[in-house]
Amino acid sequence: MQQEVIIAGFGGQGVLFAGQLLTYAGMDAGKEVTWIPSYGPEMRGGTANCTVIISDEEIGSPFVKNPTAVLAMNLPSLDKYEHLVKPGGVLVVNSSMVNREVERDDITVISLPANEIAEEAGSKRAVNMVMLGALLANADILTLDELDKALEDHLPERHHKFLPANKAALRLGAAHKAVEAAKA
């Protein structure tokens, strides 16, 4: 099993951290992993994305043309990556930042108001955790418990005060199941 995930948004949304956390969780679970970050020079407010591959076997290349999953945290990310998702793949959309419907009908789509859910979890900065929770609930990548453990093990000690909100955000995101089943 190999899962290829692109997480995309703008700087400040925790895009790179979400990818790093997913990578650490995969590594801690004994999987083969790669993580490639990409961001503009503006950082906060500029474009940001990362590619994560998690596999049971050695990974041939860290580059991904058609990912099995995409987390689109804003409209420009949806516009850029929607058409690249592999048929039968998963697309998680932050409807708080996207004002259009997904056009594809050959993929599983999870559209959720991640900004509002993050606030409900106790931290408006936990949008990335909401999105990861939704992904893990709808794709066979890792478990929420594995991501929880990675948060505990890899989050810097000074940020451990954010663990409860991050874990709550993961669970609230995971409560969102796909509204459109893949037809492929």
Hey, what amino acid is at 180? E
| Euclidean distance between CA atoms 31 and 58, whole angstroms | 9
Q: What is the mean pLDDT of residues 1-30?
A: 95
Q: What is the mean pLDDT of residues 3-29?
A: 95
Range of the domain at 84: 2-174
C-alpha torsion angle, residues 75, 107, 48, 148 (rounded to 10):
120
pLDDT of residue 104: 94
- The answer to whether 19 and 53 have CB atoms below 8 angstroms apart is no
Residue 41 has pLDDT above 80, yes or no: no
pLDDT of residue 183: 39
Asked whether residue 184 is domain-assigned, the answer is no
Asked whether residue 182 is domain-assigned, the answer is no
Asked whether residue 57 is domain-assigned, the answer is yes
| Cβ atoms within 10 Å of 176's Cβ, excluding its own | 21
Asked whether residue 62 is domain-assigned, the answer is yes
Asked whether residue 23 is domain-assigned, the answer is yes
Per residue in 107-141, pLDDT (tens digit) is 999 999 999 999 999 999 999 999 999 999 999 99
Asked whether residue 180 is domain-assigned, the answer is no
Asked whether residue 68 is domain-assigned, the answer is yes
CA distances for 7 relative to 18, 43, 47, 127, angstroms: 8, 15, 11, 12
CATH of the domain at 131: 3.40.920.10
DSSP H helical ranges for the chain: 15-28, 75-81, 114-121, 127-138, 144-154, 163-174
Asked whether residue 154 is domain-assigned, the answer is yes
What strands, in cross-sheet order, belong to the sheet with 69-72?
A: 32-39, 47-55, 2-10, 69-72, 90-94, 108-112
Residue 161 has pLDDT above 70, yes or no: yes
Number of domains in the chain: 1
